[in-house]
Amino acid sequence: MTSSAKPTGQTQLTAELVRFCHGITYDMVPAEVVERTKDLFVDWLAVTLRGTTVPSSTTMAEFAGAFAHPGPSTVLATGERLDAQYAALANGTAAHAIELDDVTNESSTHPGIVMFPTALAAAEALHSDPRDVIAAVVAGYEVMMRLGEASFNPNGNYDLFHTTGTLGVFGAAMTAGKLLDLTEQQLLMALGIAGSMASGSMEYLTNGAWTKRMHPGWAAHNGWIAANLAKNDYRGPETIIEGPFGFLKVYTRHSQPERILREIGTPFKVMETSIKINACCRYNHAAIDAAMLLCSEHGVNPEQVERLRVNVVQGGWTVVAHPIEEKRHPKNVVQAQFSTPFGVAVGLVRGRAGHNEYVQANVDDPEIQAIAAKVDLYVSDELDATYPHEWQARLEATLTDGREITVHVRHPRGGWPGVELSREEILDKAHELADPVVGPDALTAATNLIFDLEKLDDLARIGEALNADSQQ
């Protein structure tokens, strides 16, 4: 597909992006994009269901239930139906709780945990045509990822804000706005309004706070509000991306405005989204995969390790590598999720780094702590040269017998490009996460509905399928 938008210079970035996204319909989206969207929907659902069991999620669901009115939209943690914005808040928060949500290379964001809670809540409230839901999600990914790529700083992407929070509200406003059938001008207003709702502090890193988990839920909540304000003719700025006080001037130190419209629609951005296997920050994944390969391909046992030297790409340094002593000695699961030393250690000792490995018992495990204390981190121009297209890692192991082994990973498992998960692998991950929450039959019923989404009469049937068997 080619874009109908004709870039006329930087002053028209927001308007041209809105024009393109307003024109996205189900019938013009290629079949492979439709199927990829369904895969991402299934992955989001499973990750969210498991995330509902985490204390930060249950607290948010209880808050939503206490403050919202009864409404049409399902809260997955409780099965309650609330106002759409509060269901989106609860579901978006749960989706980010276990760090297994989808992720992008070029913009380092998590679009699914914003777009799908927005779309599900809106579709239930509006009884949307499922084909329109697919188009709305595709459009939301376009906005969030393109804005992310235009504001990405490869030398420190998280030196200002958590980008899923700041970027997500724009994608959510687009997704909600399309389902509300906004005009092109109203969509432009929705994005302008969303710009005053963009937020996401990185201060959670200092003590393992829960606030990062709230960011996608808050973005989904605010995106629905922004779209509805625009529907009621509330005015926003028309140049929220490129204006003198717009996003690219205020929210980033590294602006690339030409990326907003670059090769738009060829392919759609959902095709450039990765699905996580390891339950932690994506900046850790290649290093964890390298640690597991050290065991599986080179036969190294944890007790043989004298020292581990691991490359960390510059963009993730402040998130997963610094300060080094804190990263070697995380005190809780959130801190462990953002620690390369812990990720490498748990991968070596447990042979996995999924949700069941990111638990307090492993954070406190003396064997894992001992390995984490042996990890040194560094950056290199060689590996940074291909970032963010490639999220590489190189692990150099010095063993107690004097041997030195190097393992190099170009793309983490589940990543884009080239190592994407198959639908079967996505379903395996989904059942591992969600079966303990709703049971395999309920999950199968829900995923079957998603894979036949175009034929669904009402997205509320997905929540109904899950609740039918959840009281086991």
Q: Which CATH number is correct for 282-409, 3.40.1280.10, 3.40.50.450, 3.30.1330.120, 3.30.710.10?
A: 3.30.1330.120
Say whether pLDDT at 462 is over 70.
yes
* Segment (H or E) for 377: strand 375-378
Residue 110 near residue 98 (C-beta atoms within 8 A)? no
- When pLDDT is averaged across residues 260-264 and rounded to a whole number, the result is 95
Q: What is the pLDDT of residue 469?
A: 52
Nearest to 380 by CA among 393, 390, 369, 368: 393
Say whether pLDDT at 107 is over 70.
yes
**Positive or negative torsion for Cα 282, 289, 399, 380:** negative
Q: What is the pLDDT of residue 11?
A: 61
Helices (H), 23-54: 31-51
Q: What is the pLDDT of residue 315?
A: 87
> 274: which strand partners?
103
- When pLDDT is averaged across residues 156-170 and rounded to a whole number, the result is 88
Number of helices (H) and strands (E), helices first, in the chain?
20, 8
- CA distance linking residue 157 with residue 252, whole number of Å: 8
C-alpha distances (whole Å) from 464 to each of 74, 81, 215, 303, 358 are: 9, 11, 27, 50, 30
Nearest to 432 by CA among 286, 279, 281: 279
- CA distance linking residue 132 with residue 105, whole number of Å: 27
- CA distance linking residue 319 with residue 334, whole number of Å: 12
- When pLDDT is averaged across residues 327-332 and rounded to a whole number, the result is 97
- When pLDDT is averaged across residues 442-467 and rounded to a whole number, the result is 95
Sheet containing 305-311: give its strands across. 375-378, 305-311, 393-399, 404-409
Say whether pLDDT at 4 is over 70.
no
Q: What is the pLDDT of residue 467?
A: 83
Say whether pLDDT at 325 is over 90.
yes
Say whether pLDDT at 98 is over 70.
yes
- How do beta strands 305-311 and 70-74 pair? unpaired
Model confidence pLDDT, tens digit, residues 282-313: 999 999 999 999 999 999 999 999 999 999 89
Q: What is the pLDDT of residue 287?
A: 97
Which of 233-242, 312-321, 463-472 has the lowest average pLDDT? 463-472
Residue 168 near residue 101 (C-beta atoms within 8 A)? no
Q: Which CATH class is domain 10-274?
A: mainly alpha
> Phi/psi zone of residue 288: left (φ > 0), alpha (ψ -120 to 50 degrees), beta?
alpha
> 375: which strand partners?
308
Q: What is the pLDDT of residue 7?
A: 41
The b-or-e profile of 206-242 (16+ CB within 10 A means b, else e) is eebbbbbbbbbbbbbbbbbbbbbbbbeeeebbbbbbb
Q: What is the pLDDT of residue 253?
A: 87
Model confidence pLDDT, tens digit, residues 345-373: 999 999 999 999 999 999 999 999 999 99
Peptide bond into 55 cis (omega under 30): no
Tokens of 294: 């050290």
Say whether pLDDT at 250 is over 90.
yes
**In the predicted model, what is the mean pLDDT of the chain?**
94
Residue 296 near residue 35 (C-beta atoms within 8 A)? no
Phi and psi angles of residue 350, each rounded to the nearest 5 degrees, phi first = -100, -20
Q: What is the pLDDT of residue 6?
A: 42
Tokens 């989001």 -> residue:
44
- Per DSSP, the three-state class of 53 is coil
Helices (H), 364-451: 366-372, 381-384, 423-438, 440-451
* Segment (H or E) for 104: strand 103-104
- Residue 185 DSSP one-character state: H
Say whether pLDDT at 470 is over 70.
no
Q: Would you list the domain boundaries of the chain?
A: 10-274, 282-409
**Positive or negative torsion for Cα 166, 342, 333, 99:** positive
Say whether pLDDT at 140 is over 90.
yes
- How do beta strands 103-104 and 70-74 pair? unpaired
DSSP secondary structure, 171-183, as one string: HHHHHHHHHTT--
The b-or-e profile of 384-422 (16+ CB within 10 A means b, else e) is beebbebbbbbbbbbbeeeeebebebebbbbbbeeebbe
- When pLDDT is averaged across residues 428-438 and rounded to a whole number, the result is 97
Q: What is the pLDDT of residue 3?
A: 41
Percentages (nearest 5) of helix, strand, coil residues in the chain: 55, 5, 35
**Which amino acid, 317?**
W
